[in-house]
Structure 1
């Protein structure tokens, strides 16, 4: 039994939200408040006049205008029921008691009972503190039931019933007098508890709407943050792309220009070929940079529209043979190999993965040209789909040593690591045990990428 009592107490405390510190916002006095008070006043005056005309107030000694004044004193304060709910509830409880003592037939009219009900309902629905609202409403309920008990004990309630039903016989299981007492209590308990519980239900509904509004505001703020994050991520992507494009083409131009300068006097055909390569590489670099900068200008509009679809076509592993071939010259010999356990494996790579592998090879070859004494370099693409963890891998090897006075900023290698991290892959960059340098990147093909990583 004690545990059951504790459970019931906890449920009641949870229903009445006694631990909730949320305060229902106090609305300004509006037209609906005035309409409620004036409407109840008009309905009350009409029903009281009909009741008076029917002789319901024969035992009331007060003049008719006092009855109307009592009605107005109950209805009009309801205009402030939302701004001062507890004060209005206490006032109407006092009004009910005084009117019941001085003119009981008037207090029992439906119009006044509606006013008292709305007052107690508003105390629970609009009370700022749940504990205070429940305390005030509970005190009103206890006072009214005590007053009812006092009327039956020492008042005229039972005497009036006895006088009107002197020879009444029992027609049920209980005698008439206990039946009247119990019925009166049941009606009043349902009346007052209905107002209290109904008001609490209205408060809980408002609490839920407030929570939903807060969640909606939070989601809107998070959406704005995500949009801004998308803009930042896209700018970082473009910065990496721009670095790779510029580094690749500038290194090609530098190598070809050096070669053209060396053979200009004795081999004009070779010099012409080198200048043609310079022209082609510079044109391609300008085209790609314009595309990237155009995408950069469209980022804000694309993100606001919920899409980042305005990207330029991006290279992939199908472009690796051309990339490797472009590095072949009289100073550096490059080779390209593909290792796969299924036919067509490279063509099935996701676009973000293919782009990351291409950019890795591009940056590694550019670094060999700029910073290494290598004479040979190899690029190997591996696509393994039948392993327990399918993966795609690109490995770039060279046989050189670092060239003095050519240290870079490190942003290229950092970009490689960031791309691999976005795919939850592995990255191995550093000198080889024998000689040369190695850049190896492995990206899982299932469960490792999110579809947008590296894009």
Structure 2
């Protein structure tokens, strides 16, 4: 079942806006009282003989003072001011100019600030209808009381009475229409501003989530690099140190050779760590020229031979230039497979093959050790996880399992992306 979105409700006025309303309402009331004083002083009693001065003040304040809470209770304020305005005209209070402005401001506020849109529409339409009803009644009463010479000096193309009626109606349509439309426009603008703020907040959250994902991805990449760099050389050094311990007394020359290999492996590990740290500090691409690549597989095999393992390497097909990231990924997979052989397989032989096919690059590392039950079962171990991540990043496939005749095999296939030599 489709859930309809909750209609937006404009929040109420802030404390600062409430204070502004009080100041504006008080200022409007003061101006209205000044206008009332001037009208009495000039004898400008358009509606007829005015009531007593205290009643005039009362109606003037009744039409203006409610503005101090216009944004807190917009519908109530508009109704009160409308009723006071009609009553003031009925009682022939001479203050009209400022009271008209207060009425239009109250009508605008209903459209701009009322949370209940249906109620806001009904209140405004009701007030406008009441005002035009009162206008019609006032015009009828005024026409009935017109003296015979009321339009003695009229000289326009229209009938004087008709011109007066049209003028009164048009002016009121113009002002009431603008108050109605501007109120709706202000409410729509506030809603759109709210939607923009919500979208901006969602964008900030999305950016924060993306940054979190990027941080986690970077941590995984660092962990993978550290594992690949450190594990291989430490494993080689462990095997060589073990061999040194066994032959130190019987064959000092072999022990020295093994210690030299340990030293060389340590230097290589430090060099690769330094290169990797420089790469992580760099702001450029993930892989830089000059790093390890598939063309350095022979160096891996040489270090394995120095550790006492019978190792072979074969390159089949015509080698082609590869993207640096693809070349390094293939190298790391071979390195991790050899590391697993040294650490877990108890193997005596390892066979490394690199095949350049027409559409793919294949690396194949097989040993004659004890196979999957001893190490590297599918889905287990950081080494295999890192291999799968590297292969997946290049849209390749990985096979890692026991060989039918004994031992373990790692085979990775990458789509061959050629680059200019």
Assess, with a 3 A threshold, how the Cα gap between structure 1 residues 104 and 427 changes in structure 2: closer, same or farther: farther
Question: What CA distance in whole angstroms lies between the structure 1 residues aligned with 2:159 and 2:356?
Answer: 97
Pick aligned residue for 2:352 from 368, 378, 394: 378
Question: What CA distance in whole angstroms lies between the structure 1 residues aligned with 2:38 and 2:80?
Answer: 26
Structure 1 unmatched runs, 5+: 1-18, 447-455
Assess, with a 3 A threshold, how the Cα gap between structure 1 residues 338 and 104 changes in structure 2: closer, same or farther: farther
Residues 252-302 of structure 1 show CA distances to partners (whole Å, capped at 9, x for unaligned) of 12332344345445543332121122233345546767998x89xxx9xx9
Q: After alignment, is 204-213 or 268-277 more displaced? A: 268-277
Assess, with a 3 A threshold, how the Cα gap between structure 1 residues 247 and 406 changes in structure 2: closer, same or farther: farther
Aligned residue in 1 for 2:413? 441
Question: What CA distance in whole angstroms lies between the structure 1 residues aligned with 2:145 and 2:108?
Answer: 31
In structure 2, the residue corresponding to 1:224 is in which secondary structure? helix
Question: What CA distance in whole angstroms lies between the structure 2 residues aligned with 1:380 and 1:42?
Answer: 94
Superposed, which structure 2 residues align to 1:139-158 within 5 Å?
139-152=126-139, 155-158=140-143
Q: Is the 8 A contact 1:40 1:75 kept in 2?
A: yes
In structure 2, the residue corresponding to 1:177 is in which secondary structure? helix
Pick aligned residue for 1:61 from 46, 50, 55: 50
Aligned residue in 1 for 2:176? 192
Assess, with a 3 A threshold, how the Cα gap between structure 1 residues 443 and 81 changes in structure 2: closer, same or farther: farther
Assess, with a 3 A threshold, how the Cα gap between structure 1 residues 337 and 42 changes in structure 2: closer, same or farther: farther
In structure 2, the residue corresponding to 1:328 is in which secondary structure? helix
Question: What CA distance in whole angstroms lies between the structure 1 residues aligned with 2:92 and 2:317?
Answer: 102
Q: Is the 8 A contact 1:123 1:137 kept in 2?
A: yes
Measure how far apart 1:124 and its partner are.
0.9
Tell whether 2:70 aligns with 1:81. yes
Tell whether 2:342 aligns with 1:369. yes
Assess, with a 3 A threshold, how the Cα gap between structure 1 residues 46 and 104 changes in structure 2: closer, same or farther: closer
Q: Is the 8 A contact 1:151 1:157 kept in 2?
A: yes
In structure 1, the residue corresponding to 2:305 is in which secondary structure? coil
Assess, with a 3 A threshold, how the Cα gap between structure 1 residues 120 and 264 changes in structure 2: closer, same or farther: same
Superposed, which structure 2 residues align to 1:285-434 within 5 Å?
285=269, 315-317=291-293, 319-329=296-306, 330-335=308-313, 337=315, 345-346=321-322, 349-351=323-325, 353-372=326-345, 373=347, 375-380=349-354, 382=356, 393-398=361-366, 400-403=368-371, 406-408=374-376, 409-431=380-402
Tell whether 2:221 aligns with 1:234. no
Measure how far apart 1:195 and its partner are.
0.8
Q: Is the 8 A contact 2:365 2:409 kept in 1?
A: yes
Tell whether 2:201 aligns with 1:223. no
Question: What CA distance in whole angstroms lies between the structure 1 residues aligned with 2:201 and 2:22?
Answer: 32
**TM-score, normalising length: structure 2:** 0.81
Q: After alignment, is 91-100 or 325-334 more displaced? A: 325-334
Measure how far apart 1:427 and its partner are.
2.8
Measure how far apart 1:85 and its partner are.
1.1
**TM-score, normalising length: structure 1:** 0.75
Measure how far apart 1:320 and its partner are.
4.0
Aligned residue in 2 for 1:43? 31
Residues 17-54 of structure 1 show CA distances to partners (whole Å, capped at 9, x for unaligned) of xx971111112443322221122223323333333333
Q: Is the 8 A contact 2:398 2:410 kept in 1?
A: no
Question: What CA distance in whole angstroms lies between the structure 1 residues aligned with 2:402 and 2:87?
Answer: 98
Question: What CA distance in whole angstroms lies between the structure 2 residues aligned with 1:36 and 1:424?
Answer: 68
Q: Is the 8 A contact 2:371 2:402 kept in 1?
A: no
